[in-house]
Amino acid sequence: MVVYDKKFENTEDMLRFIKKRERAYRVQVETIAELIAKDEKIKIITLCGPSCAGKTTTSYILEKKLEAISGIDLKIISIDDFFKSRAEMEKQENPDYESIDSIDFDYFKECVENILAGRETHLPLFDFVTGERRKEYDVYVPHEKGIVVFEGIQAMYPEITAILPAESCVSLYIDILEDVYAYGNFFTRKDVRFFRRLVRDFQFRDASVKKTLMLWENVVANEKKNITPYSGDAKYTINSLLLYEFNVIKKYLLEMLEYDEDTIDVYNKIKEKFENIPDIPAELVPEDSVFKEFIG
């Protein structure tokens, strides 16, 4: 457990702390990129982790580092883009957006087969606001010396790994790996991701706080069933905790929840937990930070 109760003297002090935490996170990712670049057998990377662990930004950091040190052409494929439409999922009695059944697995398998064969592949693009697959596709032509990154909560599901060549595939796992005692209150690693998801879904996925709360139980159940049991199989593990995020996300959470009658109890609990945490302006967060995935 991490104890966090830093007092900030001024804006410059805040910036120094943010930069320190950002650098520690990037060193983890860039070190892994350097190790991957040394192994010529690797053609596929699976980047897995529970909801709101920071998979997307991490994949982009990997991409930039690998291209910089070895010229490797990296193609990032988000498994989320293979989601079935929201309308199709809502036909189910109890739709589970976290299970393998939430994606078009047949088309995913077809795309994997095309990539492994070096054929032109039409990758889907999903619109999370409309809840539909877009009409246009991302046309990808595999590069002989390229590496493909399959990124998503499903990236280490047995159904996914079963169709990937084990001899040329390496798995990365990313998560919040520490609980935090911040300014007198205890936060589990799951709490941190929950706060991230509340803000992200509200801002970028057209989801009310009430809807995210309704889905969270399924999210956690799926993590226990399909993600956590396989996390130990990953060759590399990344901790995406950024301590300053408590100071930044406080404002977003309270503004979202304050005027929603359906979530007043949640608002009161979060307000109490964050009461002693000093604010840090979101403007101080670097544009390329993993935390930008959640606050924009």
Reported as a single tens digit per residue, the pLDDT across 74-127 is 999 999 999 999 889 888 877 788 889 999 999 999 999 999 999 999 999 999
Residue 191 has pLDDT above 70, yes or no: yes
Paired sense of beta strands 185-187 and 180-182, if any: antiparallel
Q: Calculate the average pLDDT of the chain.
A: 92
Residue 261 has pLDDT above 80, yes or no: no
Residue 250, CA distances (Å) to 35, 256, 285 in order? 37, 10, 14
Q: What is the pLDDT of residue 256?
A: 82
Residue 219, classed as helix, strand or coil, is helix
Is 169 buried (19+), middle (13-18) or exposed (0-12) by CB count in 10 A? middle
Is 3 buried (19+), middle (13-18) or exposed (0-12) by CB count in 10 A? exposed
Confidence tier at 62 by pLDDT (50, 70, 90): very high
The number of beta carbons lying within 10 Å of the beta carbon of residue 133 is 18
| Spatial separation of the C-alpha atoms in residues 159 and 15, rounded to whole Å | 43
Residue 73 has pLDDT above 90, yes or no: no
Q: Which percentage of the chain shows pLDDT scores above 70?
A: 99
> Taking every pair of C-alpha atoms in the chain, what is the biggest distance, in angstroms?
58
Q: What is the pLDDT of residues 165-180, one digit of tens each?
A: 999 999 999 999 999 9
Residue 260 has pLDDT above 80, yes or no: no
Residue 142 has pLDDT above 80, yes or no: yes
Per-residue tokens: 40: 């010529």
Tell how far CA 287 is from the center of its chain: 16
Per-residue tokens: 251: 């404002």
Q: What is the pLDDT of residue 259?
A: 65
266 vs 16, residue with greater confidence: 16
Q: What is the pLDDT of residue 38?
A: 92
Structural domains for the chain? 2-295 (3.40.50.300)
Crossing angle of the two packed helices 209-222 and 189-204, in degrees rounded to 10: 130
